[in-house]
Structure 1
Amino acid sequence: MQSPSQSGASSGAAELAGIAAATLEALRAKAPRVHCITNTVAQAFTANVLLAAGAVPAMTASPEEVGAFVAMSGALLVNIGTLDRERRVAIDTAVEAAVAENIPWVLDPVFIDRVPFRAELAHDLIERGNRALRLNAAEFRAISGADPTPRNVAQYARQRGTVVALTGATDVVADATRQASVSNGHPWMAKVTAVGCANSALVAACIAVEPDPWKAALSAVLIGGIAGEIGARHAQGPGTFPAAYVDAISTLDAAAIASHARVQ
């Protein structure tokens, strides 16, 4: 397993924070369209997070129009949290459009540890060449059959030819040759519906402007974690945290990223 410095990317925290800052600057300059097929409970918050970061969200799950929307987008998020009949058809159409147009797409395999059908769908989707996978520890166990250790995350990323962003108390972002850990975040991020789903959309937004998927996923994880810490300082609890989180993303800058980043 190579370190970031061995594989051409710096392992220094300052340089990794700089990658995130540059990606956020590109997001605001380019305002990419990001199409999200996501949880019904996460749609509004996800759209607000993307807007705060500088992206332009679209949320339609209509099978009749999703392909056209994806074709006009810079990236696609497929979140399988709400798997009604319409969304199952829309996911297939959206991924087909993304592959045909060489549009990067991100998979968030929500609750695949709960229902076998979800795990089967996630396996099938991964075979279609997603650019990044953002998931938690239980979902990683379900998709890989292995414990969510940094070594296993790196091995899975290498075998599948994708980037894995494993979130938890310490986040791990790995591809075939590089790995970084991020210790930013706040407990309230796990107490509010849709924060994880929105951060998956943030991964997609970053991939729309940063051609290196590992750098893009690392940037999104770092931006989201730092915004969580800053937002929590201005919130009174989980109820007011979502608004403070969106505010923190909208005002985040390179100086704040550099001063808050806990990444290696």
Structure 2
Amino acid sequence: MTDSPQHHSQTAAIVECAQEVRATAPLVHCLTNSVVKEITANVLLAAGASPAMVEHPEEARVFAGIANGLLVNVGTISEEQTDAIRAAVATANAQGVPWVLDPVAVGGLPQRTELARELLDLKPTAIRGNATEVVALAGLGQGGRGVDSTESVESAREAAEALARRTGGVVAVSGERDLIASSGRVTRLTSGHSLMPLVIGTGCSLGAAVAAYLGAARSSGMSDHDAVVAAHAHLGAAGTVAGRSAEGPGSFHVRWLDALHALSPEEIAQVVELEDAA
């Protein structure tokens, strides 16, 4: 772990942002895939945020302006959800609501790949995906095996930085050691547990948590980059703690939600390892 003034500043930002989430309970509009709706809602509640799944296109257009953050997850898109996504993003951009693009399985399937690349031009506040998804979204790879990553996090750094330049936002690559990139800044964060990929929705719910943290950070003047790091720290720290006593994926799932709820902001910052990237 790097012991530098920037590192201490990042640690303090994690604590401050986690405190802000719990103080303000940001409302997150989740346009997410049908497989992960329940765990996404449970994760947001455990973390201190408030979930809402509003999917009718006209309702989504209105609700995105009410929410503090918007999640767009393309995991199981339909024509109606595609319309809702476009409507919600238009409102979010018009009203300054931060929004997150989660490019689930982009690259391997043409419909969602086309939609995700269309959304890039609408400047997501943050992009969160695994290495293969980020590389494919940037047009530097072909995609993986469904939601499974076939690339390493480090191999996706070039793609992440290219997407950050293109969108002006933050790009997070999730894996054993997360990489978070924005203009002129890269942070690496180590946390989590090997059981996390065996529980459905841990990555997708992270996208929702990023939206919650962005909403909280915007209300208190913190940077988007720090908010994305803090969201990864919270869910990753809970994974580390849950893995210490879990016997398998089922018990891990329960312990992870409990840890999301129980960990204090200070404990979140203590559990994770941060590195200031060169």
TM-score, normalising length: structure 1: 0.92
1:124-203 matches, within 5 Å, as: 124-146=118-140, 148-203=155-210
Deviations 1:153-181 (A, max 9, x none): 22431233110000112110010111100
Cα gap change, 1:254/1:59 in structure 2, threshold over 3 Å: closer, same or farther?
Answer: same
The residue number in structure 2 matching 1:62 is: 56
The residue number in structure 1 matching 2:45 is: 51
Distance 2:20 2:272 in 1: 19
Q: Which runs of 5+ in 2 are unaligned?
A: 142-154
Distance 2:157 2:107 in 1: 19
Offset of 1:244 from its aligned partner? 1.1
Letter in 1 for 2:265: A
1:1-264 matches, within 5 Å, as: 10-12=5-7, 14-146=8-140, 148-211=155-218, 212-264=223-275
Distance 2:232 2:269 in 1: 14
Offset of 1:149 from its aligned partner? 3.7
Letter in 2 for 1:220: A
Q: Indicate conservation of the 8 Å contact 2:233/2:269, yes or no.
A: no
Q: Secondary structure of the equivalent of 1:145?
A: coil
Cα gap change, 1:76/1:258 in structure 2, threshold over 3 Å: closer, same or farther?
Answer: closer
Distance 1:242 1:183 in 2: 20
| RMSD, matched Cα | 1.5
TM-score, normalising length: structure 2: 0.87
**Identical counterparts, % of pairs:** 38
Distance 2:24 2:168 in 1: 27
Offset of 1:151 from its aligned partner? 4.2
